[in-house]
Amino acid sequence: MLAMNYRGPYRVRTEQRPMPEILHPEDAIVRVTRTCICGSDLHLYHGMVPDTRVGSTFGHEFIGIIEEVGPLVTNVKIGDQVLVPFNIACGKCNFCKQGLYGNCHESNSMATAVGGIFGYSHTAGGYNGGQAEYVRVPYANFGPTVIPADMDPDDAVLLTDVVPTGYQAAEMGGIKEGDTVVVFGAGPIGIMAARCAWFFGAARVIIIDHIEYRLEFAKNYAKCEAYNFKSMADPVVFLKKTTDWYGADVCIDCVGCEAEGNALQTFTGKVTLMQAGAATALQWAINSVKKGGIVSVVGVYGPPFNYVPIGNILNKGITLRANQASVKRLLPKLIDHVQTGRLNPKGLITHRVPLEEISDAYHIFSSKLDECIKTVLIPSAKH
C-alpha cells in the first residue's frame, strides 16, 4: 500500500509499504478515503517532537471504510464508513470513564504525559497514522464512529480533530454570556475556536495572527474581529486598550510551540532549543486576560518545558485549562451542529491533493503558501 514516510525534518515522501495487520483482538483495519495535514503534524515535520523516528507514517485526522476486524470487535463491521477520533482510547480506564479520552491510560507505553495518538511519534505511542491507503485502528469498539449517511465526507474528516479541538478550546474557556474572547492563531483550530465561542454566548470575539490572508478568512468564516499583531507596537497593550483597559474575559491559545512575534521566545525556543519551542502566544494570552480570567490552551507544546509567566498566573488569579481534545466525548453534540447547518467544517478546506503529492502538500501548509488554510489528502481509489 502507498503510505507517507518521514525521512527527517522538512522531508517526507510516499512509498509502498507493507499492509497493516490486526495485532490485537479489538483492532480494525481501515481503508482511508480522506486524511488531513494538521498544524500538529508541522511540529513533527519540523523535527520538534522528541522520538519522531525516521520511517514513521504521520496522520491523525482520517476517515475511511472498515476493511477487516479483530475477533472481539462488535461495534463496527466490515464496510462501515467511519470517522476515527485522533485519540487512541480504550473507553474503560478511569481516565476514559471521566471523559478524558485524550488521556487514556492504556494506549501509550512510551510516555505517561500523553495518551496514544495516531501517527504522532513514539512519544505518543509509536502508532502509524492515516496518511496512507490503510491504517490499523486499535480499540475499534470504542473510537471509530459510523458517519451519518447524509454527512459530507469532508465534514466528517474535520470532526476527527479540528471541530472538537476548536469547540473544546472555547468550552474550556468557561465563556459566560457577554464575554470578550481573544483567540490567538488563525489556523484551522483558531478559526474553529473563534466560531465556537459564539455558541457559548460571547459578545465579542477577536482573533490575532500575522498572516493577512488567514485573518481575512477568519473574519469571514467566524464572523469575528481580526487583527494583525505585526501592525501593533505591543499586542498586549492593544488588547488591554480594546477591552477598556480591563483585559479579555477569556484568552485561547491556538498557536502552540511554533509561535512568532517575540524575539527572545523565538531565539530560546526555535533557534537554540533551550525551551520546547516559542511560547509567545501563551505569554500574550496570560498577559492580556483580565484578573481572575481564564486561559484555555489547545496549542501544542513539547517536552520538557517552556518559559511562561507563571508569576502572572499567580498574581492575577488566572485559571489555566488545557488538554488534547476529547474527540469522542464531543461527537454527538458536534455532529448535531453540523447536520443542522450551524457549523460548516468543510468551508475550511482550501486544498485537495492526491496522497502521492504529499511532499508538496506539507511544504505549502508549513510555509503558509497559496492561501492555504486546510489540506485534505486523498488516497487513490483504485482498490
Ligand X SMILES: NC(=O)c1ccc[n+]([C@@H]2O[C@H](COP(=O)([O-])OP(=O)(O)OC[C@H]3O[C@@H](n4cnc5c(N)ncnc54)[C@H](O)[C@@H]3O)[C@@H](O)[C@H]2O)c1
Q: Establish if 82 lies at the interface with ligand X (CB under 6 A).
A: no
Buried b (16+ CB within 10 A) or exposed e, 274-313: ebbbbbbbbbbbbbbbbeebbbbbbbbbbeeebbbbeeee
160 lies in the site for ligand X, by CB under 6 A: no
Q: Tell me if 98 contacts another protein by CB under 8 A.
A: yes
Amino acid at the residue 313: I
255 touches which of another protein, Zn ion, ligand X, none (CB within 5 to 8 A by kind)? ligand X
Asked if 212 touches another protein (CB under 8 A), the answer is yes
Sign of CA dihedral 181, 187, 191, 197: negative
In the region spanning residues 112 to 131, those forming contacts with another protein, defined by CB under 8 A, are: 112-113, 116, 122-123, 125-128
Q: How many positions of this chain bind another protein (CB under 8 A)? A: 95
| Spatial distance between the Cα atoms of 229 and 373, rounded to a whole number of angstroms | 19
Q: Considering only 55-63, 71-79, 295-303, 318-326, which stretch makes contact with Zn ion by CB under 5 A?
A: 55-63
161 binds Zn ion (CB under 5 A): yes
Name the strands in the sheet holding 289-297, side by side, starting at the edge strand that comes first in the sequence: 225-228, 204-209, 180-184, 248-253, 289-297, 319-322
Show contacts with ligand X in window 211-240 (CB under 6 A): 211, 214, 229
In angstroms, give the least distance from the CB of 235 to ligand X: 7
Q: Name the residue nearer to ligand X (CB basis): 75 or 324.
A: 324
By DSSP bridging, strand 28-37 and strand 11-16 are unpaired
66 and 79 Cβ atoms separated by less than 8 Å: yes
Distance of CA 75 to the CA centre of its chain: 26
Among 104, 158, 207, 254, binds Zn ion (CB under 5 A): 104
Does 107 engage in binding with ligand X (CB under 6 A)? no
Chosen residue from 93, 146, 320, 331 binding Zn ion by CB under 5 A: 93
Looking at the DSSP bridge assignments, the partners of residue 66 are 30
How many CB atoms sit inside 10 A of residue 204's CB?
A: 16
CB-CB contact of 160 with 86 (8 Å): yes
x/- contact string, 54-73, with another protein (CB under 8 A)?
A: xxxx--------------x-
Name the H helices within the chain: 39-45, 153-158, 162-172, 188-197, 212-222, 235-242, 263-266, 280-288, 310-316, 327-339, 358-366
Number of H helices, E strands in the chain: 11, 17
Question: Helix, strand, or coil here: 137?
Answer: strand
Which residue, 234 or 360, has its beta carbon nearer to another protein?
Answer: 360
> Contact between 190 and ligand X (CB under 6 A)?
yes
State the nearest-atom distance from the C-beta of 122 to ligand X, in Å: 17
Among 40, 52, 121, 375, binds ligand X (CB under 6 A): 40
Amino acid in the structure at residue 138: P
The verdict on 76 binding ligand X (CB under 6 A) reads: no
Binding of ligand X at residue 88 (CB under 6 A)? no
Binding flag, residue 346, another protein (CB under 8 A): no
Site for ligand X in 283-322 (CB under 6 A): 298-300
Rounded least distance, CB 226 to ligand X, Å: 11
- 165's contact among Zn ion, another protein, ligand X, none, with CB below 5 to 8 A by partner kind, is ligand X
Is the separation of the CB atoms in 351 and 375 below 8 Å? yes
Residue 157's CB is within 10 A of a number of other CB atoms, namely 30
Asked if residue 177 binds another protein (CB under 8 A), the reply is: yes
Name beta bridge partners: 301.
none
259 scored as a contact of ligand X (CB under 6 A): yes
- Residue 90 interacting with another protein (CB under 8 A): yes
Does the protein bind ligand X through residue 337 (CB under 6 A)? Answer: no
Residues lying near ligand X in the complex (CB under 6 A): 38-40, 42-43, 161, 165, 184-190, 208-211, 214, 229, 254-256, 259-261, 280-281, 298-300, 324-325
